[in-house]
Amino acid sequence: MIYRLDKKRIAFPNPLLGDPDGLFAVGGDLSVDRLLLAYSNGIFPWYSFRDCKEIMWYCPMKRFVIFPDEIHVSHSMRTFFNRNAGRYRCTIDADFDSVIGNCSKLRIDEEGAWLGKDMIDAYTELHRQEMAHSVEVWDDVEQRLVGGLYGVSIGKCFFGESMFSLVPNASKVALIWLAGFMRQNGGRMIDCQFETPHLKSMGGRYISYKEYMSIVNDVDF
């Protein structure tokens, strides 16, 4: 069942009643309060801004996640790190605007592109209020930004939104660094939203929505 949201009332119906693919509501807005309520319940907006007149909200019952202590660093990535020791450096929140801008630009001409102006504005405001964060990958030889990712941080969880690479492996470097940062600082889970071969190869796996929400709420499952 698909529910229509009221723009004036910041609330969501029970996502357990949604479609099998996770879509369960349309409408509403991208205000900070609504986004924070959404992520706190495993809900996220995802829609083609050229094709959809209303925001579409998803909450899959099978959640594809990476646990920081399960991040898989392949042999090829270990070789990459050894060959480029000292070249690549990661930071957090050093250039959120460039990270989200590159994530949008690299996909803007694709069918179904979802990271348009409204989404960029919404997550930039979340970042301004210290609820959305970026990881930047810098090439210290060429002295430029070459990759990164951004997402929403609530409690001990990071809800990944998008990543980009301008050189091979840069997004993998960002994700590995994020997992290490979370592991060192008590982070429990990286929400990947959807499965991709790239994320699966790095340790992503499915858990139930019930287990997912126990982690979001920081309680034992």
DSSP string, 116-144: -HHHHHHHHHHHHTTSEEEEEEEETTTTE
pLDDT digits (tens, 9 = 90+) for 93-149: 999 999 999 999 988 888 788 899 999 999 999 999 999 999 999 999 999 999 999
- Is beta strand 23-27 parallel, antiparallel or unpaired with respect to 3-5? parallel
Mean pLDDT estimate for the chain: 95
Sheet of strand 56-58: strand arrangement: 3-5, 23-27, 56-58, 44-45
**Segment 156-185 mean pLDDT:** 97
| DSSP secondary structure, 28-88, as one string | ----HHHHHHHHHTT-EE---TTT-SS-EEE--SEEEEE-GGG----HHHHHHHHHTTTTE
pLDDT of residue 53: 85
The 10s digit of each residue's pLDDT in 119-135 is 999 999 999 999 999 99
- Between CA 25 and CA 59 the distance in angstroms is 9
What pLDDT, on a 0 to 100 scale, did the predictor assign at position 7? 85
* Model pLDDT, residue 219: 84
Q: Beta 189-191 vs 44-45: how paired, if at all?
A: unpaired
- The confidence score (pLDDT) of residue 60 equals 95
Nearest to 145 by CA among 173, 121, 179: 173
pLDDT value of position 191 = 98
If one counts every other C-beta atom within 10 angstroms of the C-beta of residue 124, the result is 16
Tell me the two tokens of residue 3: 């529910």
Query: Which pLDDT score, from 0 to 100, does residue 119 have?
Result: 96
**Spatial distance between the Cα atoms of 32 and 86, rounded to a whole number of angstroms:** 38
Q: Is the pLDDT of residue 65 over 90?
A: yes
In this predicted structure, what is the pLDDT of residue 61?
Answer: 95
